Amino acid sequence: MTIIITVVSGSKGGTGKTTIAVNTATLAAYRLRGSSPYPVVLLDLGVDNGSASKVLLGSLTKVNYTLSDYLTGKINNPLYALYLKSWVIGNEEMRLVFSVPGSIVEGLPLFKLRYIIRVIMEYLKPIMMVIDTPSVGFTRQFLEPILSESTYVIPVTTVDHSSIESLSSIVGFIKGIKSNATILPPILNMFDYKYPVDPTTGKEWVKVVEEITGIKPYTVAYDKLLYVTRQAMEVEVLKLSPSESPALRDIIKYFNEVVLPLTTKH
């Protein structure tokens, strides 16, 4: 059974959701290497031609097909919009399959989103699928077929009230559609440990998120190195050392304590 982990941030952009999704998928590809031909799939559903897939494509600027080509009927098989990234670690190969979204817009047949996920599960049989969802400009109706297929959801927010309120709204939506997906501990991203308290309420930011979402979050540190690495179109977990990047250390901690144990349950 494929574990499907969907990363969401509500309608608020700029939360670092894609950074979490890409690094989670890459860590999973490393930890699950050799366990199956295609152990991990990263499904990029970004609205800007996909920032997740751009990082993984590297110097490859042109691709044959995208998910948009399937959704608009230009191709009849969503597997044509998938690509393979591999790295050699010692004598072992680490493999990550990912999608290129293309120009995904609203109004496309939503049932096809479910079909994409099911086709990937049937033919590639990955152990884990990580879905990077769109945020700004997309309605909840777009997310519903994705969430209905998900096993788990990782909510991501930042240290500001509009981001936290947006996350609270999407968590409520997930509960409202009666999805079978389990909501995992939220990630409070770009957290400055020097300023743990919300000056407007006097409460710790961690408590603010916990009160609104009902789940105690993990924090991921604010770290300029992460943004320098992303600007260079690199996968942070492959470029930086946890000893030099507190944010990466926090991401790895979340993966080890929350995500990786899920693989033993299925």
pLDDT band at 138 (very low <50, low <70, confident <90, very high): low
If pLDDT is split at 50, 70 and 90, which confidence band does 12 have?
Answer: low
Average pLDDT over residues 53-82: 87
Looking at residue 131, its pLDDT comes to 95
Residue that has been written with the tokens 């990466």 in this structure: 248
Mean pLDDT of the chain: 88
Are the C-beta atoms of 81 and 42 separated by less than 8 Å?
no
pLDDT band at 9 (very low <50, low <70, confident <90, very high): confident
Q: What distance in Å separates the CA atoms of residue 134 and residue 142, rounded to the nearest whole number?
A: 9
Residue 171's nearest CA partner among 17, 12, 10 is: 10
Q: What is the pLDDT of residues 146-196, one digit of tens each?
A: 888 999 999 999 998 888 888 888 888 888 887 789 999 999 999 999 999
Write down all domains in the chain, each with its CATH number in brackets. Answer: 3-258 (3.40.50.300)
> Given this model, what pLDDT does residue 162 score?
87
Provide mean pLDDT across the span 220-226. 92
pTM: 0.93
**pLDDT of 140-149, one tens digit each?**
777 888 888 9
Instruction: Specify the range with the lowest mean pLDDT, choosing from 61-70, 180-189, 249-258.
Output: 61-70
Range with lowest mean pLDDT among 25-34, 46-55, 109-118: 46-55
H or E element in which residue 259 lies: none
> 140-149 and 111-124 helices cross at what angle (nearest 10)?
30
